[in-house]
Amino acid sequence: MSESTALLKKKANVIHIYSERITGGLEKRGSDYWACCPFHGEKTPSFKIDHREGEWLWFCHGCKRGGDIISFLEAKGATFQEAIAVLERSAGPGSEWHRHSRQVTGSTKPLGITTDARPKKELPADYLLPLEEALQSNAAALRWLKNQRGIEAETAKRLRMGYVQTCDHVGDKDQDIGGNGWITFPRIEGDKLVALKYRSIARKAFAQMPGMNARALFNVETINPFDLVFVTDQIPRISLLDADGRLMGRCRGAINGAHGISGDADGNLYLAEVFGGRTQKYRPKPGADPSKLVWGRSLMPMAGTSSN
């Protein structure tokens, strides 16, 4: 859990959020709260909310499910972004989260804007639901994401990544792997899917749904207002934003053809550029929290290594 999400949960009235979504409300017993579980039928309350690890956590002794307020809202059918929106409304417009969020939005929103005014194909965002379910239930695809890209299932779910066994939009040179499994990457604006791109798990190959906004930037709306963010649009370019939403580095942070991200033992961050033949080094701020630095590990395949 990021520092920002923890702060947001502390600012929000979490108990009220639980209570208004549980039929019959909550019963206080000492310092804890109890209710009949909203996820399975019961007459005797077994759903407990108690304050531990610095936040209000839930656990049902009947169905053995539990977690934090975000996982509760997700279990009730909300997406991660919708759960964050619930917490934001509860925290109020004057919270630190909102201040940072406005700064980040001011930097990232223009990244997804194109000047092409021609009408583009759009689909309801619910189009993604079976794709998301397919990914979360496919062990081989999740294993590929983790082993080849370092992306955990939870992160893939948060970013609404999906999976299709067969991609109908591959080019002629990739027809032989069209049915070998593809990860999907959406761009969502409001309740509309405006772009859907595909990445093969068989080899390095890409495709996209025709007629949609080919220049749409993937998942800008999921950026966390406090975290260091890597913003990429497939392979060609990468941008860095700091915790205040400011773009870092040359050319407003853009590196053409970034093919390797790694760190050293001193917490410095390195980005290797393919087309320009250069490497950029980012030094930690004085007094930076060591737990938030990248320590000597590769975050992207380095140039010259396999990137299938």
CA distance linking residue 81 with residue 100, whole number of Å? 16
Q: Check residue 141 and give its pLDDT.
A: 96
CA distance 111 to 99: 20
- Check residue 250 and give its pLDDT: 43
Question: Cα(27)–Cα(39) distance, rounded to whole angstroms?
Answer: 17
- Both tokens of 285, joined, read 């701020």
- The pairs formed by 58-63 with CB atoms below 8 angstroms and a separation of 24 or more are 58/18, 62/37, 63/37, 63/39
> Quick check: 243 and 259 in contact, CB under 8 A?
no
Fold exhibited by the domain 118-208:
DNA primase DNAg catalytic core, N-terminal domain (3.90.980)
Residue type (1 letter), 103? Q
Q: Which CATH class is domain 3-92?
A: alpha beta
Non-local (6+) Cβ contacts of 262 within 8 A are: 269, 270, 294, 296, 297, 298, 299, 300, 302
Q: How far apart are CA 80 and CA 82, in angstroms?
A: 5
Instruction: Report strand pairing: 247-248 vs 237-241.
Output: antiparallel
Residue 155 is predicted with a pLDDT of 81
Pair 58, 47: CB distance under 8 Å: yes
Residue extents of the structural domains in the chain = 3-92, 118-208, 222-300
Report field, pTM of the whole predicted structure over 0.85: no
CB 183 within 8 A of CB 163: yes
**What type of residue sits at position 73?**
L
| Nearest by Cα to 81 from 181, 197, 224 | 224
Q: pLDDT tens for the chain, 308 residues: list them.
A: 455 678 788 888 999 999 999 988 899 999 999 999 999 989 999 999 999 988 999 999 999 999 999 999 999 998 887 888 899 888 876 666 666 666 666 665 665 555 555 668 899 989 999 999 999 999 999 999 988 887 888 888 878 899 999 999 999 999 999 999 999 999 887 788 989 999 999 999 999 999 988 766 666 666 655 555 444 444 444 445 454 445 454 444 455 556 667 778 777 877 776 656 667 777 887 887 776 666 554 444 444 433 33
Q: Give pLDDT, residue 282.
A: 77
Q: CA-CA distance, 153 to 166, in Å (whole number)?
A: 21
